[in-house]
Amino acid sequence: MPDKRIDIFRLLENEGKLSKILIYPAVTVIDDPYEKSVTETFLNPTPIEALVQQISFESLRWKYFGQISQDSVQIICDIRYENSLKVADKIKIGDNFYKVYKDDTKGFMILKRTDYLICILERKNLNA
């Protein structure tokens, strides 16, 4: 019997609501084990299509208790990109760079559903 579920990404693509996102994985090399200095080298980006949404002020206050900055976004993407998001050091959406939000226990803010992922991305400060 064929699967009767609706393909959410095909609908969003037909409506023109998907955005192109570049995922940059990085390789970290420890230069000096005593001083703990490291060098990061970014690999070639992986482009994906996802629905990008701003996180509302209510959810920042009530769901995340002010732990996430106001520049944060949530994306809805295909489930096959879960590992790519976990190893990404920076994620480019438009002109801004983000990273996958990790809580204080180093758990990723990725909600897995049967067909898609909901992922919280926080703004990455490239100057620091």
Tell how far CA 117 is from the center of its chain: 10
Q: Is the dihedral of CA 116, 103, 100, 55 positive or negative?
A: positive
Query: Is 119 a residue whose pLDDT tops 60?
Result: yes
CATH number for the domain spanning 117: value is: 2.40.10
- 28 in a domain, yes or no? yes
Mean pLDDT calculated for residue range 35-52: 91
- 34 in a domain, yes or no? yes
Report the percent of the chain where pLDDT is more than 90.
Answer: 19
- 21 in a domain, yes or no? yes
- pLDDT for 111 equals 86
User: Tokens in use for 118?
Assistant: 């909901």
- 56 in a domain, yes or no? yes
- How many structural domains are present in the chain? 1
Average pLDDT, the chain: 80
Mean pLDDT calculated for residue range 90-111: 77
Burial track 61-88 (b if 16+ CB lie within 10 A, e otherwise):
eeeeeeebeeebbbbbbeeebeeebeeb
- pLDDT for 122 equals 82
**Residue-number span of the structural domain to which 64 is assigned:** 8-123
- 128 in a domain, yes or no? no
Task: Give the pLDDT band (50/70/90) at residue 104.
Answer: low
